[in-house]
A and B are shown apart, each in its own frame.
Chain A
Amino acid sequence: MNLTTFLLALFDGVSYAALVFIVALGLTLIFGVMRILNVAHGSLYAIGAYATVSLVGWVLALGAAPILAFPLMIVSAILVGVLIGGPVEYLLLRRIYDKPEVLQLLVTFAVFMILEDVQRLVWGTQPYFEAQALRALGNVTVFGVTYTVYQLILLPLVALTLLVGLRFFLRRTVTGKLITATTEDREAAQSIGIDADRVFLLTFVMGAILAGLGGALASPTTSILPGMGADMIVLSFAVVATAGLGQIEGAAIAALMIGMGRSFAIYIWPEVAVLVPYLIMVLVLLVRPEGLFGSPAARKI
């Protein structure tokens, strides 16, 4: 492997890890606080991507500057989180918090299936491609390897900002403290007057926005087509499980491991590339069933 291929694999890995991390962050936040593994998270990712492509396509067709694609990504993510995530929590999940985990998993899986069909109804089955945002930022050349600024700099920067921001939010703000307190003991939280229902709704919408944002940011780098949500939920679950459920910093490390493992495999042994993330997960879980950073019954978030 020469330097050029090494750098290409490295850059692929970093940009891919950043995207997966953003989605996994939402998944692990929701799990950490609400103890629900939300399979529909994958659909929110896909719908975030579709919504961005539609919105950006529409606005740019009106003659707007390509740079406008960026605020539209944020708008799409928020729309997905509030308009889909909000009702899913409020109308559905709220009723099943005290039910067995199997049932919770089945309900979120059902939501996932429904949303997959909704995507086909709204956007059809032909792939979409909308890379204006990617082109708007241009390229950068590092040691002779030319890569897009969007993937090499913007995506990792956004991922890092979200990691630091979420950490800060949970540890240093009043709302963050109320969320971690409710995570620790829902009844105690209610007995001091915390509106636990609102805490859960807020957390779920935040997690859903992260899924939507992952999709929005992924949209210029890939074809948007049916099945992308399923791929992403499996992959981000692998990241979250490898890290330890509810582990936020751990998810960043696990995303890097899995992203790098996959991208280097593509150059070295392409036949197994798609398997690599799951091989990493299985190896880690065989040695540490609670994940790299999880402990059997310690901090939840």
Chain B
Amino acid sequence: MTEPLLETRDLVIRFGGVTAADHVSLKIEAGRNLAIIGPNGAGKTTFLNICSGWIKPSAGSVHFEGEDITRLPPRKIVTRGVARAFQIPQLFTEHTALENLLIAASARDGLRNPLRSMHGIDARDEMMHLLDMVNCADVADRVVVELSEGERKLIDIAVALALKPRLLLMDEPTSGVASSQKDEIMEILIKALSEANVTSVFVEHDMSIVQTYADEVAVWNAGNVQLRGTPSEVLEHPDVIRDVIGEEIA
């Protein structure tokens, strides 16, 4: 059996009286898009935050490609190949779209040569290609603050890909955009991920998106994985209809 891309072992964390991670042991295989669903407060985002290093668990460990990354700071986890996209795009709004990508591409060793010019970055063509992949090449030189929410979402994805991750953790990739735009963004996202050969884990509340775009679904409840399977298996499961989908409809 091949080694999982990411593996968590017995993750535990409590916030006050709430157990946000209750002995979570999960293996994520390379090359698939895993959707995480579940009621609010089930610990979905906490799981992403632990895997990306923003929250340190009180017990348990996270392994990426066999290496224990539990105690590494977020920026080092990024360097290892795990990128994180947040619910609200974390872009530098006073910079242009292309600059955002260039900053990401040079974040790792940009401080080594203090006088290197921005124009000297070899990655420029590659970054333009990434913007093209997310259909945003035409706004490359626009300042992010002028762009629409949909465009920001797409550029945020391009920024994440500029980090050359092997795993991308996303918190509701389509939240905050009009429902008519959601499919367009997901199409672009899934295509870009497969082109860049990146595995993804995304938290999602929209079941039609889960159904269409996920290869696999994990259902979170009370700080642990309640169920895991293909979208059709999981979404038709009575517990899920009652606990998760029921809540979405209400």
Contacts and interface: CB of A to CB of B under 8 A. Distances in A.
A199 B111 contact: yes
B110 A175 contact: yes
A194 B94 contact: no
A257 B49 CA distance: 50
B208 interface: no
Given A177-B95, A178-B107, A199-B111, A172 B75 contact: no
Given A174-B121, A184-B93, A193 B111 contact: no
Contact of B159 (A169, A174, A175, A192): A192
Given A191-B86, A194-B75, A177 B111 contact: no
Nearest to A177: B103
Given A190-B75, A195-B75, A175 B90 contact: no
Interface string B107-128: 1101101111111110000000
B78 interface: yes
B92 to A, nearest CB: 5
A185 B79 contact: no
B158 to A, nearest CB: 12
B52 to A, nearest CB: 8
B12 interface: no
B103 A173 contact: no
B106 interface: yes
A192 B93 contact: no
A178 B113 CA distance: 12
Interface string A180-196: 11001101111111111
A124 B116 CA distance: 43
Interface residues of A, number: 26
A94 interface: no
Interface residues of B, number: 37
Contact of A192 (B54, B104, B113): B104
Given A173-B117, A190-B73, A193-B78, A184 B94 contact: yes
A135 interface: no
Contacts of A198: 111
B99 A177 contact: yes
Interface in B25-67: 52, 54
B91 interface: yes
A192 B114 contact: no
B95 A192 contact: no
A105 B76 CA distance: 31
A113 B93 CA distance: 39
Contacts of A191: 52, 54, 74-75, 78, 84, 86, 90
A247 to B, nearest CB: 15
A299 interface: yes
B159 to A, nearest CB: 7
Residue from the set B74, B91, B94, B119 with the largest chain A CB neighbour count within 10 Å: B94
A202 B103 contact: no
B155 interface: no
B118 A192 contact: no
9 contacts: A173-B117, A177-B103, A181-B95, A184-B94, A184-B95, A192-B90, A192-B163, A193-B78, A195-B75
